Amino acid sequence: MARFLLKRLWHTVFVIIGISAISFFFIHLSGDPVMLMLPGDASHQEIEALRERLGFNAPLYEQYLRFVARALRGDFGESLYYRVPSMSLLVERLPASLELALAAMLIALVVAIPIGIVSAVKRGSLLDTGSMLGALFGLSMPHFWLGIMMILLFSVQLGWLPTSGRGTLAHLIMPAVALGMSLMAMFARLTRSVMLEILNLDYIRTARAKGLRERVVIGKHALKNALIPIVTVAGMQFGFLLGGTVIIETVFAWPGVGRLVIQAIFNRDYPVVQAIVLVLALIFVLINLVVDMVYMYLDPQISYYEEK
């Protein structure tokens, strides 16, 4: 157990180092930001002076090491565009993205789990067929298009909800539903299939044979075990969800990390891009680490690194 944890931690560190190196070298290949920062008629001396000041004249590996040393202290350098520390930009925008991702996840789970359970219990019924057809449509819609369609219906036609911005619950509903729709579909299918499997197991038959009410059998005995894979998948998907806010934030003018990073990439504002890539990757990796550990705790039969 301790050995597994150590190994897993080492992998996590390795992944983070790898990501930092890739994003660093990659972004440096993308061209010289100095030219973008100065007016077009800047003299050669001015360009050189700015390069020197920003440290762009040092060898690439030296720049990378300096970058890592500072990044460890949470310092990703000043945004080339906004002229404020990248980290403070990120810290300012991250809560909005987290709020959106959490809301999407919550909506997806709250709607999908009951649907999945009912579909499994009433397998083959009209409700089951209808829900699974709905889930198929949910999986087949690009989330940004769903967002646009909701704007068309609820904002343009009905005038119920604001089209963009952040602040009230009314602002949150549409982007969160749009972002969460494919997850909702996925969870509904997952819950249904897991429940179908569990409902065939011996202990469920025992519980029924004991004369427990169906409600207790399903709600207590079956659901409890079905939640393990669902929670695992939810954990893993959350990281993807954060990375996936890029487009939906553009659609709804949501002031989160996604819009920030798009602007930063277009502006070649690479301290900001690096900060965002690394922090998102860190969140993703840490969530997976936690999910792994929770999973191991819940199900000790799974032996890790018995290479799957």
Partner 1 sequence: MTAKGSILTPSGVKDALLPHLRLLADTLREVARRRSALAGGVLLLVIVGTSIFFPLVYPVDPLEQNLLARFTPPAWQENGTLAYPLGTDNLGRDILARLLYGSRVSLLVGFAAVLVAMVAGILLGLISGYYGGRLDSVIMRIADIFMAYPFMLLTISVIAVLGNSIFNLILVLGLSDWVTYARTIRGSVLSLKKKEFVEASRAIGTRNSVIIYRHILPNVISPLLILGTLRVANIIIWESGLSFLGMGVPPPMPTWGRMLAEGRVYIADAWWLVTLPGVAIMLTILSINLLGDGLRDALDPRLRNL
Binding interface with partner 1 (CB under 8 A): 11, 14-16, 18-19, 22-23, 26-27, 29-31, 136-137, 139-142, 144-145, 148-149, 151-152, 156, 189-190, 192-193, 196-197, 239-240, 242-244, 246-247, 250-251, 261-262, 265-266, 273, 276-277, 280-281, 284-285, 288, 307-308
Q: How far apart are CB 258 and partner 1 at their closest, in Å?
A: 8
78 φ, ψ (degrees, to nearest 5): -85, 140
Q: Give the three-class secondary structure for 85.
A: strand
Q: How far apart are CB 29 and partner 1 at their closest, in Å?
A: 6
Q: Based on CB atoms, which residue is closest to partner 1, 85 or 244?
A: 244
Q: How far apart are CB 49 and partner 1 at their closest, in Å?
A: 26
Q: How far apart are CB 231 and partner 1 at their closest, in Å?
A: 18
Alpha-carbon distance values, 203 to 199, 220, 256 (Å) = 9, 12, 47
Q: Based on CB atoms, which residue is closest to partner 1, 42 or 262?
A: 262
Write out the two tokens for 261.
């990073």
Q: Based on CB atoms, which residue is closest to partner 1, 76 or 144?
A: 144
Please choose, from the candidates 227, 191, 222, 223, the residue with its C-alpha nearest in 3D space to the C-alpha of residue 206. Answer: 222
Q: Based on CB atoms, which residue is closest to partner 1, 215 or 266?
A: 266
Judge contact between 19 and 278, C-beta under 8 A.
yes
For 16, how many CA atoms within 13 A lie in the half-sphere containing its CB?
20
Judge contact between 179 and 242, C-beta under 8 A.
no
DSSP lists the bridge partners of residue 123 as none
Q: Based on CB atoms, which residue is closest to partner 1, 31 or 219?
A: 31
Coarse DSSP helix, strand, coil percentages of the chain, rounded to the nearest 5 percent: 75, 0, 20
DSSP lists the bridge partners of residue 78 as 85
Q: How far apart are CB 89 and partner 1 at their closest, in Å?
A: 15
